[in-house]
Amino acid sequence: MSESTPLLELRHVTAGYAQDIDVLREIQLRVDAGRITGLIGLNGAGKSTLVKTICGFLPPKTGSVHFRGEDISGVAPHRLIDLGICCIPQESSLFPYLSVQQNLMLPLLGRPKRFDAGMRARLQEVYELFPPLHEKRSQAAGSLSGGQQKQLEFAKAWLQQPTLCLIDEPSIGLSPKIAEEVFVWIERFTQANMGILLIDHNVRRVVRMSDRVCVLSLGRITAQGDAAEFRGNLHQQVQEWLGLHF
């Protein structure tokens, strides 16, 4: 993969849940290593459908999804971890009756290459980054508070050491204090050279954090560019559409 090759690239992707109904239309989008691409749009615009398409749960009708220059449109969702792709979904992906530590290790089971000599050190690093999880590592994940469960989602992703992380509405339903911590974790991911596709209802924060911003409206990318362009007047129409003033 050359330096100019996107980490993730969607090329003219059209997708939908019914044969004659397209939720996404001709989507072109890229995510680069160590950078955040923010995706903003109103409810029903197709943001979660886009994540499902990238993850292989909804194959494109036309177009293709590329990771590190390779077409992954037909790759099964459970193989994404092996490629270095991780998703932190809006809904919980935790198993509530398994312990915190069992949930952390679950994505790595059956993947011997992931259990290298540094895995124990990596697990310790996770517990240092998220002290409440270390204190409650033997407790059932379902017994954690909402904020601690979100910590566990991010800790699980960090342990996998992905190259690309898709993050869908990470701050929804959280207190302002915990939501602020979420955005700090995302910045830590980019500092580790992960590429991030970030979707969040806090549009101001997404624009402020992102290197590149894409606006999704009724299944189409209606505007995209460097985040600085969205803070100025170039995309004034986008600000008006969202009812925002940065």
With CA atoms as reference, report the closest residue to 99 among 64, 143, 60: 143
pLDDT band at 188 (very low <50, low <70, confident <90, very high): very high
The structure's pTM equals: 0.90
Helix axes 146-160, 176-191, angle to 10 degrees: 0
With CA atoms as reference, report the closest residue to 89 among 157, 42, 24: 157
- Give the number of domains in the chain: 2
Q: Say whether both 187 and 71 belong to one domain.
A: yes
- Rounded-to-integer distance, Cα 23 and Cα 147, Å: 32
Q: Say whether both 68 and 7 belong to one domain.
A: yes
CATH code at position 167: 3.40.50.300
Q: Say whether both 168 and 73 belong to one domain.
A: yes
Q: Say whether both 41 and 27 belong to one domain.
A: yes
Q: Say whether both 57 and 70 belong to one domain.
A: yes
Q: Which helix (H) or strand (E) holds 120?
A: helix 119-129
Q: Say whether both 112 and 10 belong to one domain.
A: no
Residue 51 · residue 199 · CB < 8 Å: yes
Q: Say whether both 178 and 226 belong to one domain.
A: yes
Query: 155 pLDDT exceeds 60?
Result: yes
Q: Say whether both 173 and 238 belong to one domain.
A: yes
Dihedral of the CA atoms 15, 47, 196, 227 (nearest 10)?
Answer: 110
Q: Say whether both 112 and 59 belong to one domain.
A: no
Q: What is the pLDDT of residue 239?
A: 61
Q: Say whether both 199 and 152 belong to one domain.
A: no
Bridge partners (DSSP) listed for residue 226: 212
Query: 238 pLDDT exceeds 80?
Result: no
**What is the extent of the structural domain holding 101?**
93-161
Q: Say whether both 144 and 210 belong to one domain.
A: no
Residue 64 · residue 73 · CB < 8 Å: yes
Q: pLDDT tens across 33-90, in order?
A: 999 999 998 888 899 999 999 999 999 999 999 999 999 998 898 889 889 999 999 9
Our CA angle for 163, 169, 174, nearest 5°, is 120
